[in-house]
Amino acid sequence: MKGWTIAAVALVAGLATARPAAAGSPEDAGWGALSVLTNLVYMPAKLVYATLGGLTGGIVYGLTAGDLQTAQAVWTTTMGGTYVVTPGMLQGQEPIAFSGTPGGTAPTPDSNHELHEQPLGGNG
């Protein structure tokens, strides 16, 4: 019973000292709400991916007789990246990286390359 009392006091104290969030505009509030809804799907998927990657990296480490470089490549790829999507990411101001990059370089908004269509026949 003591645990519930402490938890209730902590909850009331947290709520009493919290300030309401103020959005700069209704548009900011909309982007914030969209990021929350996105994270309801994105975060669990990312956590499952990272957890399975962590386990896989451990298996790779064992199967390669302790090759840490190979295991770290798996761990960095699966456990790196973005865990929380922010409004800036949804607006295209910041990159979203579901996977990490083994080389350690994170993608930047400028590193997004456009695809250019090429004719198949080689006549142009």
pTM of whole model > 0.85? Answer: no
Let me know: does 78 contact 57? Beta carbons within 8 Å. yes
Give the model confidence (pLDDT) of 63-96 as tens digits: 999 999 999 999 999 999 999 999 999 999 999 9
pLDDT at 117 over 50: no
Compute the distance between CA of residue 49 and CA of residue 56 in angstroms, rounded to an integer: 10
pLDDT at 114 over 50: no
Better-predicted residue by pLDDT, 104 or 106: 104
Compute the distance between CA of residue 50 and CA of residue 64 in angstroms, rounded to an integer: 20
Is there a domain that residue 35 lies in? yes
Is there a domain that residue 7 lies in? no
The range of the structural domain enclosing residue 95 comes to 27-100
Give the model confidence (pLDDT) of 10-59 as tens digits: 767 777 776 666 657 888 889 999 999 999 999 999 999 999 999 999 99
Is there a domain that residue 66 lies in? yes
Our measurement of the distance from residue 71's CA atom to the centroid of its chain's CA atoms, rounded to an integer in Å, reads: 21
Q: How many CB atoms lie within 10 A of CB 53?
A: 20
Q: Which amino acid is at 12?
A: V
Give the model confidence (pLDDT) of 43-57 as tens digits: 999 999 999 999 999
Let me know: does 101 contact 51? Beta carbons within 8 Å. no
Is there a domain that residue 84 lies in? yes
pLDDT at 116 over 50: no
Confidence of residue 60 (pLDDT cuts 50, 70, 90): very high
Is there a domain that residue 112 lies in? no
The tally of domains found in the chain comes to 1
Let me know: does 101 contact 76? Beta carbons within 8 Å. yes
Closest CA to 32 of 109, 97, 88, 95: 88
